[in-house]
């Protein structure tokens, strides 16, 4: 199910209160969300997901949030987790979650070992 323009507008309004240079871009029926040039969030099926790694994933798991699985349950999970819905109504509570996701998005990926 594609994401709605109204949900995107709501999310962008809330994020715009706490994230500098926030913008969105249509992507595969959803939206990619950027802070400057950092792709830190996405919207799919009217659900907001933030980028995670080992530094912030436990925050999401502690609240029972699920990873983004683009091909449905049982498919490989991406490094984005569902943002608790109640945070969307409170921009100041959303701020630290967004800031952590932006930091994660700015990290360089670890180099994969070369095959011999």
Tens digits of residue pLDDT in 24-80: 998 887 899 999 999 999 999 999 999 999 999 999 999 999 999 887 787 888 899
Place of tokens 């969105």: 24
CB 32 within 8 A of CB 47: no
pLDDT at 116: 66
Which CATH class name applies to 5-106?
alpha beta
CB 44 within 8 A of CB 66: no
More confident residue, 46 or 116: 46
DSSP 31-94: EEEEETTEEEEEEETTEEEEE--TTTHHHHHHTT--B--TT-TTSPPPSEEEPPGGGGG-HHHH
The full set of domain ranges for the chain reads: 5-106
């Amino acid at each position: 199910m594609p994401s709605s323009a109204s949900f995107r507008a709501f999310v962008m309004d809330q994020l715009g209160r706490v994230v500098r240079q926030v913008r969105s871009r249509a992507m595969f029926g959803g939206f990619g969300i950027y802070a400057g040039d950092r792709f830190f969030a996405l919207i799919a099926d009217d659900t907001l997901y933030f980028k995670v790694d080992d530094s912030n994933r436990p925050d999401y798991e502690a609240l029972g949030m699920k990873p983004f699985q683009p091909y449905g349950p049982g498919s490989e999970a991406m490094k984005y987790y569902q943002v608790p819905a109640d945070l969307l109504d409170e921009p100041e509570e959303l701020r630290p979650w967004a800031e952590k996701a932006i930091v994660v998005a700015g990290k360089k990926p670890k180099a994969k070992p070369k095959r011999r």
